[in-house]
Structure 1
Amino acid sequence: MNQILHDQLLNDAAVPSASSSKLQALIALIAEGSAEREASRTLPFELIGLIRQARLGALTIPAEAGGGGASFRALFEVVIRLGAADANVAHILRNHFVFVERYARRPRDAQQRLWQQAVLDGAIVGLANNEPAAPVVGASPLDTVLRPDGDGFRITGRKFYSTGTLFSDLVLVRVSSEDGRPASAIIPLDRAGIELVDDWDGVGQRLTGSGTTLLTDVRVEAAEVVYDTPTQGYGLPYSSTLPQLYLTAVNAGILRAVLADATALVRRRERSFFFAPAPVPTDDPILQQVIGEISSAAFVAEVAVLSAAEAQDAAEALRLAGQPDLEATHQGAIRAAKAKVVVDDLVIRSGSQLFDVGGASAALKTHNLDRHWRNARTLSSHNPRLYKARAIGQLELNGTALPSTSFF
């Protein structure tokens, strides 16, 4: 690990802003050895420790509260940079930043102010949402039910796809009340009865800790429970646009990494095929075309993501002015859905094109270049692109609004 960059992080106590040299140093450290970590399945505990020390998780908390003050556009610029450095690390932080937006960025009560302070102090928050027995993905009620226990509750349940939780300090557990009301319980991960199982065996995103969370008679204090309402948490219309767009931003970052690796491959090639139109690979018009296509795809992906992020900023500006507008949030969801439909295709195609410029030697396991395609394919599979394309078609043809919950 680069000791100069490491020391720079430790000597800077400020929460990083999106444009700070501290953040630049942190991302440079994250990029170091990312291919090797994934090849050996070395989980990034040390890097998450640096992120905790650097307090990157407070990036979007307002500056007046001691945070980084990043807008949505600035956040997603950072996510793209993180995705280019290491798609696993970028993905690990997804549920954290969504938690901050829902419950800590602008706290409503004393408990949420405590969560905000925890984030300002460096705490990372994970998620335990999905249940293997659920007949409909993303639907409620859940089998993890709040059972009254004195002045609090107890919960028992099994969650999977717990991305990032293995590296976190707190976890947001999606629960139901006994009468079926959906809610979130935010609890420390060192509480008795919580077990984290690193059993994620996907083809990509192998280091995200997206395994199983087991909850056995876990105590939950009443203040740690937030019930969904039409103006808060998961009940807020289009509140899931942010986590959806986050995945697309990581894919845009992967595209940036594909471009960097493809360019480096061509530049270091010393041989060409006997039937190539130019003896020097960097002068080969066929290879130049492939690089040009990947570069253009990376550009379009980033523009699409940042355009959708700007729509989130516009909707937030209305909320802060006391003029919440459903159509503004709907427009944000539309842009995020359209970005996913296009970006997912671009990154998967570009991940394959990477091998067109490198020849057979690019497929050597020692290079681990296939991780870009595998990671992008895995991220793209999280939320169905085809269903989003169909919803956009319904909107265009019949004026049908996008669904306001779950995967939109």
Structure 2
Amino acid sequence: MVNFEQGRKSVDIIGDESLSQLTKIDSPEFEALLSIIARDARERRDTNSDYGPYKAMKLIRESRLGAILLPPELGGIGASIRELFYVVIRLAEADPDVAHILRSHYRRVEQLIREGTREEENKALLEKVADGAIFGSAFTEISTHNVGKLVFETTITEQDGNFRLNGTKYFTTGTLYSDFVNVTASGSDGEVISATIPTNREGVIIEDDWDGIGQRFTGSGTTRFQNVVVHKEEIVKVENKTSFNSFAQLYLHAVIAGILRSVETDASNLVKARKRTFSFAAAEVPKEDPQLLQVIGEISSIAFTAESLVLTAAEAIEKASKSAINGVIDYHLSHHASLLASQAKVIIDSLALKASTLLFDVGGASATKQSAHLDRHWRNIRTLASHNPTVYKARAIGDYIVNGKHLPLKEVYF
């Protein structure tokens, strides 16, 4: 039994499974990690447990999966951004909650690497990543009318040479399971600043109050900061060095692509296991029914399309990231990456929701049993797709194609 400290809450993890540090992605160790995570998700699901993926996060720390973007000299394996998104897809296939939990972490690590280790603060944070630490974030506030507008009620103020953090954040996905949280706030002069602090520091209150229809165990709820001490070296002035936010956008669709892998697997298993058929069926045996096979083929094609789009857009993000000079990405490469991520979203959202519904067309009424848990795919996809609504993306893409107007540039840092 392993004790897992998190945000002033202690939970017990039953099981003695452990993994050594990963040395490469395509390896038996990586497949073993995915297998354990998938089994843990399945067992919690089958018992209707309200217990989150703490075991999975423990193993991710042990295996240093969160450090794969780091170059070998910093303790990682030097994975490319495309390889990272492949990892996210595979993680989401095993447990979409786990993949989603790591969104802010991987985005933060990519940012730190791109900006370099010139500053001691960056180097210190990357060393924590190499040791297995996981980062969460606290950006969004319910009172914000425009999520791209940087006006925060959360503040970091100086009092007698000491700094104090006060405020409430929501949609703090992953912070419940993280070791550190990056908090964006307003400084004494109204400037935007951020601080990276331990999640178990006194005054940090992480509430497991996310009640969405999907991605239930991502901890995407409230984090409160009540007079939290912040050290001067933990504070940095926020600078927008990335023109667009394509990494964070595309990440969600990597999670959807992983879910679609599971939809394909579940659809295939349903047809293979079915014994009964219907009077209008085209074959006596369901697995030989050409209409059912056609539906399976469509689901499989949708899964392939989603994964291909995500990995293609990830290559554009990689190219843009590598163009950075002093952390600043080339505008045109950044815009192109954002365009591809937006186009991927418009297509993936529609097709993924269709695939999660087609799943029931091959399973019959028995597939709707709550014990089968097949509705989770639609709920998870619907929740993920609801981030940055598709209608806005499609309109912006059309305006660019027809009128040459670039995609909206918002000062979004999360």
Instruction: Give the TM-score taking structure 2 as reference length.
Output: 0.91
Q: Which amino acid aligns with 1:298?
A: A
The 3 A distance-change label for structure 1 pair 24 and 152 is: farther
Matches within 5 A, 1:270-285: 270-285=275-290
Counterpart of 1:59, as a letter, is I
Which residue matches 1:179? Answer: 189
Distance in 2 (CA, whole Å) between partners of 1:124 and 1:324 is 25
Matched residue, 1:128:
138
Deviations 1:109-167 (A, max 9, x none): 11111110111001011111111111222321100112113444211101111111111
Q: Which moved more, 1:67-76 or 1:33-42?
A: 33-42
Whole-angstrom distance in 1 between the partners of 2:218 and 2:164: 28
1:218 equivalent in alignment to 2:231: no
Secondary structure in structure 2 of the residue aligned to 1:256: helix
Q: What is the CA–CA distance in structure 2 between the aligned matches of 1:85 and 1:119, rounded to whole Å?
A: 23
User: Which position in structure 1 is the counterpart of 2:4?
Assistant: none
Cα distance in 2 for residues equivalent to 1:243 and 1:108 = 24
1:90 corresponds, among 91, 99, 104, to 99
Alignment match of 1:61 (pick from 66, 70, 77):
70
Question: What code does the residue aligned with 1:28 have?
Answer: S
Match of 1:27 among 19, 34, 42: 34
1:72 aligns to what?
Answer: 81
Q: Does the C-alpha gap of structure 1 residues 32 and 266 become closer, same or farther in structure 2, counting only changes over 3 Å? A: same
Residue identity opposite 2:237 in structure 1: Y
Aligned residue runs from structure 1 range 219-368, under 5 A: 219-231=229-241, 236-238=242-244, 240-319=245-324, 324-368=329-373
**1:64–1:401: structure 2 CA closer, same or farther, 3 Å change rule?**
same
What fraction of aligned residue pairs are identical, expressed as a percent? 47
Do the aligned partners of 2:137 and 2:173 also contact (CA within 8 Å) in 1?
A: yes
1:37 to 2:44 alignment: yes
The 8 Å contact of residues 35 and 368 in structure 1, kept in 2 or not, is answered as: no
| Closer/same/farther in 2, CA of residues 259 and 406 from structure 1, 3 Å limit | farther
Change (3 A) 1:29 1:331: same
Deviation at 1:347, TM superposition (A): 1.0
Deviation at residue 67 of structure 1 after TM alignment: 0.6
Instruction: Judge conservation of contact 1:142–1:176 (CA < 8 Å) in 2.
Output: yes
Please state how far the C-alpha of 1:36 moved relative to its aligned partner: 4.2
| Alpha-carbon spacing, 1:352–1:144, altered in 2? closer, same or farther (3 Å) | same
Q: Match of 1:258, as an amino acid?
A: V
The question of whether the paired residues in 1 share the 8 Å contact of 2:185 and 2:194 is answered with yes
Q: With structure 1 as the length reference, what TM-score do the two structures score?
A: 0.93
Instruction: Tell me how far apart the structure 2 counterparts of residues 322 and 159 of structure 1 sit (CA, whole Å).
Output: 27
**Secondary structure, in 3 states, of the residue corresponding to 2:279?**
coil
1:18–1:75 Cα contact (<8 Å) kept: no
TM-aligned CA deviation for residue 404 of structure 1: 2.7
Q: Structure 1 pair 269/72, CA: closer, same or farther in 2 (3 Å)?
A: same
Say which is worse superposed, 78-87 or 31-40, in terms of deviation: 31-40
Partner of 2:388, secondary structure, is coil
Specify whether residues 320 and 156 from structure 1 end up closer, same or farther in structure 2 by C-alpha distance, changes over 3 A only. Answer: closer
Q: Which residue of 2 aligns with 1:384?
A: 389
| Alignment CA distance shift 1:257-1:406 (3 Å) | farther
Q: In 2 relative to 1, CA 36–356 (structure 1 residues): closer, same or farther, beyond 3 Å?
A: farther
How far is 1:107 from its partner?
Answer: 2.6
- Offset, 1:99: 1.1
* Contact 1:41/1:206 (8 A) holds in 2: no
Deviation per CA, 1:209-263, whole angstroms, max 9, x where unpaired?
11110100111112112212243xxxx211x211111001000111111000000
Write the distance in 2 (CA, Å) between the matches of 1:185 and 1:266: 52
Check whether the contact 2:150–2:192 (CA below 8 A) recurs between aligned residues: yes
Are residues 51 and 141 of structure 1, via their aligned partners in 2, closer, same or farther at CA, if it must alter by over 3 Å? same
Deviations 1:347-374 (A, max 9, x none): 1111111000000000111110100000
Inter-partner Cα distance in structure 1 for 2:264 and 2:412: 29
The reply on whether 1:118 has 2:128 as its aligned counterpart is yes
In the alignment, the residues of structure 2 paired with residue 294 and residue 284 of structure 1 have an alpha-carbon distance, to the nearest angstrom, of: 16
Secondary structure, counterpart of 1:40 in structure 2: coil
Q: Which sections of structure 2, spanning at least 5 residues, go unmatched? A: 1-14
Secondary structure of 1:17's match? coil
Question: Which residue of structure 2 lines up, in the alignment, with residue 108 of structure 1?
Answer: 118
Report the number of matched residues. 396
